Structure 1
Amino acid sequence: MYRDLPPMTWLRAFDASARHGSFTQAAEELGLTPSAVSYQVRGLEAQLGHKLFHRDHKLLSLTRLGHAYLPIVAKAFADIDATTWNLFGNGVQQEVTLRCLTSLNLLWLMPLLEDYKTRYPDSRLRVLSSSWSELSQGEAIDIDIRYGDGSWRDGAVVPLMQNKVIAVAAPGLLGSAPYPDLHRLPLIEMTGVVDTWRHFFARHNPEAAIPEPAYKVDQSLIALELADRGLGVALVADVFARPYLDRGTLLRASPVELSTQHGHHLVLPSDRNSHRPEVRTLVSWLQSQARNSAELVRAAIASSPADS
């Protein structure tokens, strides 16, 4: 019925070795010796008639055919795992680990989690925070929310939000004019992002010199808190500014807005089972909340007193 299907143990050895890039680490996962894993992979290569790995001392890297074969094998195991759980699981929700950028976590995700728990009362969610500069290592993450251009290669990438970047400041700093001359106000710069004050002033006033920022920070939450205290004008994603705009503690400082070159994405790591029902449910809920947030953000910006 199945023509020349390799033994399941050989395929598991290939999958684990490819994910870890090491027979030794694959052996630890499978409860085997490194030599046993190596033997099984060689058996698979012999049956297929092609090399799947380049071997350089103890380092492994996939060949062209290995790269093509791995997603098929990984998906097959994921489908078997998900189907087995759906048919024979004990009905208890498995824990899902979500890692979220700190500012997005506090300013967007946390206020929404009550809705998630109401909709899915049996869910078990583990939420971690990270900074934009951290790498995806050391934790078993089911869903990783990252900010960038979506070019990561360690998992499936699903776009989540593409926001506008706006300038906001405390009412006391802005004064009575509808929009002040930002060149005369202290600026708060976000480091590590591509949508900067330089790009903003290129649209706002391209002929004027760009003032040196008074503060440089690495988190949108910090920039917003500084602005909330009247210490400068923050240039942040509109989704982060929305809670402050809703409260009226910050106002639009300029009608100019930037279309972000980067966005927030869901990354589903290839070494985790993204087909689990709990993971699929959370992904769908996050996407739905992102769509709702986009509409609410537009409404909050449109009703900002500085725009009235």
Structure 2
Amino acid sequence: MYQELPPLPWLRAFDASARLGNFTLAAEELGLTPSAVSYQVRGLEAALGHKLFIRKQKSLFLTRLGQAYLPVVSKAFGDIEATTSNLFGKSAAQEVTIRCLSSLNMLWLAPRLSNYHRLYPNGRLRLLSSLWSETPDAAQIDIDIRYGDGNWSDGEATRLLHHDVIAVCAPALHPGPDPRQIATRPLIEVLGVTDTWHHFFALHGLEPAASDPTLKVDQSLIALELASRGMGVALIARVFAQSYLDRGTLVEATDLTLPARQGHYLVQPNARNRFRPEVSAVKDWLLQEAATTAC
């Protein structure tokens, strides 16, 4: 029975090396020497009769067979870990690190954390905020919530939120029923987004504003705060503006909307084990919350 199953230490060495991209980091995770990890991976390749890695200097790249094998091996270890914990209570839930843009952290994620803790009272989360201009560093991130088109090569992406972009302003600054009057108000725009005032005016056949937006900011939260103080009309994702609309501090400046060309995605970096049971639970919870979010 299980005569064709390679030794588990060899599989563990392959899993860690594939996720982390080199033998040195895999060795640190497994408590071995790099040469021991390399020896185990070579043993696995010899047993299978196929190369799993392309070795270039100090980096490792999966072959096609390696790419097909890794999800199966990682999931198997995740299932074993989850079942062991559930049946024998071997360890408390491990911490899960989530990183996302500051505005999403404050305006969407934070208000929903009480729901998570009702479902998982022993769950431990570490929340990190990022700026749109930052280069992803996924070494310690279990779930990276990014804004874009979903095409990233460093991890597996799952769409979380896709929403319309709306124009909002303080009630006193409302331009009236004619959307053309929006161009007469100061305009607020978020840097780094693909859905701009230029696209809004062009989509609806409106005369564009005579000049660039009066205020440009790097976070949606700042744009919302400025708009709520009567500083202008902000073009913002509905998912961010909804709490301001509910409180009445902001209103929609027009019924016209701009369909977003990009959205928020859950990215699980290749350098981390996405099959850890606590990570899977957090991912499932985030997707459930997103399904009930009006966008």
Q: TM-score, normalised by structure 2?
A: 0.89
1:169 equivalenced with 2:166 (yes/no): no
Q: Closer, same or farther in 2 for the Cα pair 1:4/1:281, shift >3 Å?
A: closer
- 1:300 paired residue number: none
| d(CA) in 1 for partners of 2:65, 2:291 | 39
| d(CA) in 1 for partners of 2:256, 2:88 | 56
| d(CA) in 2 for partners of 1:139, 1:58 | 17
Q: Closer, same or farther in 2 for the Cα pair 1:175/1:255, shift >3 Å?
A: closer
| d(CA) in 2 for partners of 1:38, 1:174 | 66
* Farther off after superposition, 91-100 or 123-132: 91-100
Q: Closer, same or farther in 2 for the Cα pair 1:277/1:54, shift >3 Å?
A: closer
* Farther off after superposition, 239-248 or 208-217: 208-217
- 2:289 paired residue number: 289
Q: Closer, same or farther in 2 for the Cα pair 1:61/1:277, shift >3 Å?
A: closer
Q: Closer, same or farther in 2 for the Cα pair 1:248/1:16, shift >3 Å?
A: same
Q: Which runs of 4+ in 1 moved over 6 A?
A: none
| 8 Å Cα contact 2:147-2:263 kept in structure 1 | yes
Amino acid across the alignment from 1:241: A
- Write out per-residue CA displacement over residues 201-240 of structure 1, whole angstroms, 9 at most, x where no aligned residue: 1122356566311111121101111111211111010011
Paired residue total: 295
5+ residue gaps, structure 1, are 298-308
| d(CA) in 1 for partners of 2:118, 2:5 | 45
Please list, as runs of the form range in 1=range in 2, the aligned pairs for 1:1-308 lying within 5 A after superposition: 1-90=1-90, 92-137=92-137, 140-174=140-174, 179=179, 181-206=181-206, 208=208, 211-294=211-294
| d(CA) in 2 for partners of 1:115, 1:194 | 32
RMSD between superposed Cα atoms in Å? 2.4
Q: TM-score, normalised by structure 1?
A: 0.86
| d(CA) in 2 for partners of 1:104, 1:245 | 16
| d(CA) in 2 for partners of 1:183, 1:152 | 36
1:93 is displaced (CA, Å) by: 3.4
| d(CA) in 2 for partners of 1:247, 1:201 | 28
Amino acid across the alignment from 2:291: R
| d(CA) in 1 for partners of 2:271, 2:82 | 14
1:13 is displaced (CA, Å) by: 1.6
5+ residue gaps, structure 2, are none
* Farther off after superposition, 67-76 or 128-137: 128-137
- Write out per-residue CA displacement over residues 152-209 of structure 1, whole angstroms, 9 at most, x where no aligned residue: 3433333222111000111222255564612222111212111111210112235656
| d(CA) in 2 for partners of 1:47, 1:200 | 59
| 8 Å Cα contact 1:93-1:124 kept in structure 2 | yes
| d(CA) in 1 for partners of 2:55, 2:275 | 31
Q: Closer, same or farther in 2 for the Cα pair 1:41/1:92, shift >3 Å?
A: closer
| 8 Å Cα contact 1:180-1:253 kept in structure 2 | no
Q: Closer, same or farther in 2 for the Cα pair 1:78/1:247, shift >3 Å?
A: same
Q: Closer, same or farther in 2 for the Cα pair 1:279/1:42, shift >3 Å?
A: closer
* Farther off after superposition, 220-229 or 135-144: 135-144
| d(CA) in 2 for partners of 1:194, 1:84 | 46
Q: Percent identity?
A: 61
| 8 Å Cα contact 2:175-2:181 kept in structure 1 | no
1:17 is displaced (CA, Å) by: 1.6
Amino acid across the alignment from 2:42: R
| d(CA) in 2 for partners of 1:91, 1:58 | 34
1:134 is displaced (CA, Å) by: 3.1
Bigger relative contact order, structure 1 or 2, given CA contacts below 8 A and separation 6+?
A: 2
Q: Closer, same or farther in 2 for the Cα pair 1:218/1:126, shift >3 Å?
A: same
* Farther off after superposition, 221-230 or 258-267: 258-267
Q: Closer, same or farther in 2 for the Cα pair 1:142/1:68, shift >3 Å?
A: same
